Structure 1
Amino acid sequence: MKPYALALPPDYRLDDVLTFHRRDTESLAEEVSAERLRKGVLLEGVPVVLDIALPPAGGPAIAQVAVHTDGPLSAAGLQQARDAVLNIFGLRIDPAPFCAFVKKDQLFAALVERQPGLRIVQSATVFEALTWAIIGQQINLSFAIALRRTFILQAGRQHSSGLWCYPDASSAAALSVDDLTTRKFSRAKAETLLRLAALVASGALRLDLADDNRIDQISAALLAVKGIGPWTVNYGLLRGYGYADCSLHGDVAVRAALQALLGEDAKPDIQRTEEILARYSPHRTMAAAHLWASLHPRD
């Protein structure tokens, strides 16, 4: 694939993207600096590095993208690489419709005004988003990042440049439960992770969006997988597909942010949170994004 330019929207919040992708300070599958973002991912079993030169401060908002592969990719694989770049930059959901939707809203209007241009940053692939959701559920962030690092080292592969590539379903499915449980994964988490990988690798569970495989069908198929619940599905849809109407009512941080926004003494329970977020359909993903961001305001 030839290098190409990617124009970013006006008032683009590049720092949000860099913060999300530098969660792992050991930088196994991501290398992030003020000038460059490099992401390693397995596509069609081929180690691929997305090498993105970031726009200079004060210069044109244009990123320069190069895709370095250690083997040939099909046309579909090359499209996956392009899609991964859009995901990495959070360009799947236009924030403007939600901003217009809540312009006069008592709960969100002031919050959105304080956070202009906020976007949902995604994982490079749907499989990465889903596995990250499984890995990170019900544990603290630092431990989740350590487990993610283990998963990459166990199932990923190194690109010729040295950067590790996040696993695909086939490479993950080759692991055994013991490969993970001997490295601090709980048995339930390891079994769910490998169960998902095996289903995707075999084709029994399709993650590609198509006329015969819509979001609602994918959601139902994921919910049928033992160990995967509504939160994991919604988080996976958000980070993987950039789906605009995910309800994160089971998310503790969303509930905490709602508590602060409502000025109440306790977090709203899951049912009430779901009812509140339902008012913002079909823009519930952006509602969650603004609630998350409100817990870590920018200076």
Structure 2
Amino acid sequence: MNLHAEDDVIAPVSSGTPVAALTPAPDADRAVASRTRTFDNARLRKDFAAQDAFLYLDDFLAPEVTAQLVHSARSLLDEVNRNYLPGHKQGGSVSRHTIDRLAPFIAELYRSKELIGWLEQLSGDQLQVSPADDPHAYALYYYTRPGDHIGWHYDTSYYEGRRYTLLLGVIDESSCRLDYELHTRNPEVPDQPGSVQIPPGGLVFFDGDKLRHRITPAGPNEMRVSLTFEYVTDPNMRPWRRFLSNMKDAIAYFGFRQVFRQMASRGKDAA
């Protein structure tokens, strides 16, 4: 089903109703293992290294997981926070804080030991989940109006270590593409451009500080939803970087109320 430019809702569930209460969720670890154990993981690890920490698979998620994510994405449409940064970004986002309340299966998938272990095989790094106050740890990104896009950027890590991005295709009723450039941080290797249209259940995994990328603009009556997971090698962050990260999240993605209300709530809990 396509989304008209003036609409941002497709049969959403009532606000405050957890998605898990409507449909039985699959077992995240079992579903991931059913896929990853069939892959040639040694070859995928070589591909990831040869492409300077980048991998694209057009068929990754088990069908029941994709179906659950599609249901979650449609059910959360009325929770989307839209942003517009002239010349760089237009679109909508749902942060991990909202997902925790209304779509807990996504959080379970993010923490799947099978998934994290497989990503560690690819990256060669020991990965950790992002801290509980990071709204980007897992988030849904919506392109539902003509011109929705994000310009060229890196997923810059404000953490002490590296931050890896796992991008999962959820809904693609659009002409949007992920354009990217490999090796831009390596002066010894020429930049290598590429472009993919990620189908539901597809995967892109990369080191956020190495991959320059963008999402091309959506056209009329189109809809694209992606899910990103962020994993880190060191969850520590210096205070001034925390401030920069929070401001970026508030302005460009989730809104001041979402970002700073969560911080205030944690402060009260600590007190």
Please give the TM-score of this superposition, normalised by the length of structure 1.
0.26
Whichever of the two has the greater Rg, that structure is 1
Structure whose residues are more often strand by fraction: 2
Greater RCO between the two (CA within 8 Å, min separation 6)?
A: 2
Please give the TM-score of this superposition, normalised by the length of structure 2.
0.28
